[in-house]
Structure 1
Amino acid sequence: MTGIDNVQLEQVIVHKVGNPSRGEQLKLSVNPLTLNDELVKSMLNKYFLGAFNENEHYHFTHLSDVGMNEVYNYVTSIFQDKKSFTQQSSLLAHFLYNKSTHVKVKEGELYVASFKDVPFGNDFIDAVGIFKSETKETFLKVFEHGESWEVIGEEGININKLDKGCLVFNTNKEDGYVVCVVDATNKQQDAQYWVKDFLQVEPYADSYHNTNKYMDMCRLFITNDYADKFDVNKTDQIDLMNRSAEYFKTKEQFSLNEFTEEVIHHPEVADSFVQFKKNYEVSRQFEMDDEFDIDLAAVKKQAKVFKSVLKLDKNFHIYIHGRRDMIEKGYDELTGKKFYKLYFEEES
């Protein structure tokens, strides 16, 4: 998140939340932290807010009614009455403790914080943050000892690496607020208790969400199904990857029909892509629109993982940006090795 220098950190409280299935305890703080040191407040703001993508928005949900979502209710109480902050933070800690039974859930510190003047679009509004630190790192501390210096190792938290976070903006209450989420320790979906069980949030079906998810789905399809089901080589994969990325970069609106015709071309591959989309939506429990405005912030984010690199053993990396017709693949019988032939006009 950008523009956090002027955010006011009003209150922070820390609770210790273990995993009950391992016999670990829940230890609650009686009072919030004393925030007299401006440097510490600045470091906490960086730790709490720095990792969020302000363009990716979620909202609280519930099978019956959003008003029955526990975290939604506790946060609403804090927004309505700042004096209930400590009590509601304890309820949040209890609820998280009850949801922390998965074998891969680690013990950690739960931080609940309230903020003023958090940037939101062109405005600044109140927000409540819920954060959990699970990963500890070892730091060296150098200190003066008599006429010499000594070094000891201390365990602490890296303020540049937030493990889990949830930032709730005080807007769109009826729709489940606007929520930003970080879950850096469960990227492989082994134990998504933070998002699915504790927060119970889902992405807003906006242009950012649709663009981001469609590009992610395209990358997975080209990397996996396209390579497995069709007789294509690595350069064909990269070519389709480049054409997909170019579509999102140059178009203002996405159309599934247009994309399959202009980018994928082949009917059999297009049918496989549409089926892959259905499976992708089911596995992730959300739906994506077939037509939507393309969000450039999401395109920029996904461009970092759209790989157009052809790796040959450990000797060569070839970056392919287009013109599949300028590349030939062959086999040399004398050396018993494969080769690529590249055509070009100028060397730079």
Structure 2
Amino acid sequence: MSDVTLGGPEASVTLMREELVSLCHRVLKRYGFSEPHVEAVSDALVAAEMDGSRSHGLYRLLGFVDTLNNGGVVPDAEPAVEDTAASVVKVDAKGGFSPYAFRQGVPGLVSKAKASGVAILAINHCVHGTALWVEIERLTREGLVAIACNPTQSYMAPHGGREPLLGTNPIAFGWPRLNEDPYVFDFATSAIARGDIELYRRQGKDIPLGWGVDRDGVPTQDPGEVLDHGAMLPFGEHKGSALAIMIELIAGPLIGDMLSVESSEHDQGRGSLPYHGELIIAMDPARIAGGDAPGHMLRSERLFELVQQQGARLSSQRRYKARRRHLEQGVTLSRSLYDDILNLAS
């Protein structure tokens, strides 16, 4: 443990990256996850923590262990990779967490995208609880443009509705850049990620209005009411709602997997992390743009420069800054969260 700040409710612990990895490994091994799952899940959680994405960082270990204890995940599942078409790879996660299934499917996805220009990776029967941008960045390192999305459970009401029906349904996009961090965004189609509302409840804080409604469909600032009895709300009203429905369809029935409402029915009230599918699309500029692909890709830099000249921030810039800072200074966890994670490891 690198550093401990004591005193009062804000007591905290600062850990370096290797200590975060070790902590994840201790917890996951303690609960019987196989080595490939330990490695893949730890990498995803630590990446989020290093980038300041607290709702998808080590806090998720609590939900991962709860999901295992509820019978909602197979800790040693061995994904089955199937070559189904010239531009399609399918991976049956066999009820395991998605990061290992993604790792198993990536080689085929990259190969097919570079051969055909566009390829799809469909992950089925996975339990999902990690950030999509981790996967997107992996594909941009191959020079690919990528999109990923997935349903969740029925946490969110459609615009104009009041009952939870849609998932928070994140979507992520990545664009590789020469000698620069890739342009990446990853956001839920809900007004905020569910994990953020969980963190507000953990800290005993009110959420902003507009994030959710209570059991009667009335806007509320009580995170517990939204999570346990009410519904989350889409961002951008009908626009976020329409995007969420699109993701339900293309990452659900299109790939032979569940809608969010079906995932909730599958859970049977156990409170496990969502069980569903994931869709990843990879595009190769070299095949699509042709011989002058590098020149066309460089034209994107003009757009990025013009955005920044207006004082606007490119997506993920804040994450990259946090990553560099945390690599040098370590990540600070609240003492209460650190103690909860240590309890899991012991």
Range into which the TM-score falls when normalised by the shorter chain? under 0.3
Q: TM-score, normalised by structure 1?
A: 0.22
Q: TM-score, normalised by structure 2?
A: 0.22
Larger RCO: 1 or 2 (CA < 8 Å, sep 6+): 2
Considering fraction of residues, name the structure with more helix.
2
